[in-house]
Homo-oligomer: A and B are copies of this chain.
Amino acid sequence: MDKLRINADRLWASLMELARIGATPKGGVKRLTLTDEDRGARDLFARWAREAGLAVEVDAIGNIFARRAGADPALPPVAMGSHLDSQPSGGKYDGAYGVMAGLEVLRTLNDAGIATRAPMEVVSWTNEEGSRFTPVMMGSGVFANVFTLEHVRAQRDIDGVTVGEALHKIGYAGAARPHRLGAYFEAHIEQGPVLENEAKTIGVVQGALGQRWYDVAVLGQDAHAGPTPMALRRDALIGASRLVLEVNRIARTFPDYARGTVGFLQVKPNSRNVIPGEVHTTVDFRNAKASTLDAMCAELERAASAIEAECRVTIELRENVYFTPCEFDAALVASVRQAAGALGCSHLDIVSGAGHDAVYVARVAPTAMIFIPCEGGISHNEIESATPADLAAGCNVLLHAALKKAGTAGAARAAA
C-alpha cells in the first residue's frame, strides 16, 4: 500500500482536457460560475466520475458529489475536492487541480482494486471565485450553513440573473440532501510565493488566516504648498504615510503569520502643489490566531492616536470585514505531513492567506489542505503555472492522507 502511486500522466491529461473548456488565448481559462463553460466543465467531470463507477449527486446549490462506496456504508465519507469555476482571466490549476486530484485518487484506487472502509467522495463546490455572483465560496458556504440557500439563490449578476435561475439554466439545481463528511481534503496551488521561495514541494496547510479590514479616513487641512510653512501644516498624507508604515511594522513584528497591507490610498485634492487635506485608505490585517489578530488591531488603534497628536490630523478607523482564523484538523494536518515525508517530498508548514472552500467546510468536518508551488506565486492570472511533477506529488500526498483516514478493507488485486 505504501508503494501506491497515482497516475501522473492521467492527472495531467485530465487537467489539460478540462482546461480546453473556456480556454483563453494566453493559456488560461475563463469559466465564470454557472455559465455554459462552467456547465461544460461540470458535465465532463460528471461523465468521468460515472465512467469511474462513482455515484454522482448534485445538491440544491449545485455542488457535485461523486461517491465511491465504502465497506462500511454507515461511515461518513472521506471527501476530496475544490471548484471548477474560474476568475475572468483565470488559470488552469486554481480549483480544477483539487477536483481532478480527487478524481485521480479514486481512479487509482479503482486501478489497484482497493476497497476502503469509509466511502470516499470527490466534491466540486459551486462558485468559489465570486466573480459573477457574490458571496465567494458560495457552495461550500451553503454546505457549512454559513449562508442560507434562499439568500444565495436570490443573488444577481450584473445582468440581473439570479443564482437560482442560472442553476436551472445549466441543469445543476439538484435535490441531494446535505450530508455529513467524515473528513475533507483539498489540494490546491499555493497562490503565493512561499513554497517556490523555500524550494519545497508540499505545503502542509495549518489553517487559514483570519482577517480584519478597515476603511480609514485621515483628515487634515488642504492649503497651498508655497505660502504655508511646515509648522503650520495639517498634512493628511503625512498622517497616512505614517499609518502605512505602522501597518507594516505591526505585521512584521507580530507572530502567527501576521500580515498587514495598505492596498488602497486616495489623496484629496491630489494636486502637486496643494497640501493634502484628506486621505482615504484601507488596512487589511491577517493572522492565524484570533487573539494575535486582535492585538494587532489594538496596536493599530494606539498608533493612530499617536499619529493624530503628532501630525495634527484626525484618523477615523472603521472596521468593515472580520473573518475569524481557521485552524485545520490537527490529526488530518499531521497525516498530510506524514504522507509527504513518507513519499520523500520536501515539505513546509504553511498557512493559507486567502479563502478556500476548505475554510468553510472546516466548520462542519475535520479538514486539511495540501499546497503545491505555482510559478512566481502567480494566480488569478492566465499565466498561472504549475509543474506536472509537483501536481503529481500533491496528488500522491492526497491519496495517502485520504486513504489513511478512510481505512482499507482489503485489495481485490495487487497494488501497482
Contacts and interface: CB of A to CB of B under 8 A. Distances in A.
Interface of A: 190-194, 197, 209, 211, 213, 223-230, 232, 235, 237-238, 240-242, 244-245, 248, 251-252, 257-267, 270-276, 282, 284, 286, 352-355, 377, 379-380
A257 B242 contact: no
B227 A193 contact: yes
Given A225-B284, A242-B245, 6 more contacts: A226-B353, A227-B353, A227-B377, A263-B272, A263-B273, A263-B274
A263 B213 CA distance: 26
- Stoichiometry, as copies per complex, reads 2
B264 A197 contact: no
Contacts of A252: 230
Contacts of A245: 238, 241-242, 245
Given A223-B193, A242-B245, A267-B264, A228 B377 contact: yes
B229 A257 contact: yes
Contacts of A194: 227, 229, 232
A268 to B, nearest CB: 10
B263 A270 contact: yes
Contacts of A275: 261, 263
A235 B264 CA distance: 12
Contacts of A261: 225, 235, 272-275
Given A353-B224, A353-B225, A238 B230 contact: no
A346 to B, nearest CB: 18
B226 A259 contact: yes
B264 A265 contact: no
Contacts of A263: 225, 237, 267, 270-276
Q: Which of A193, A251, A270, A273 has the most CB of B within 10 A?
A: A273
A190 B353 contact: no
A41 to B, nearest CB: 24
A197 B232 contact: yes
Nearest to A267: B265
A223 B353 CA distance: 12
Nearest to A254: B230
B284 A227 contact: no
A294 to B, nearest CB: 18
Contacts of A211: 226
Contacts of A229: 192-194, 257, 259
A354 to B, nearest CB: 4
A213 B56 CA distance: 67
Contacts of A192: 223-224, 226-229
Given A238-B245, A245-B241, A245-B245, A227 B273 contact: no
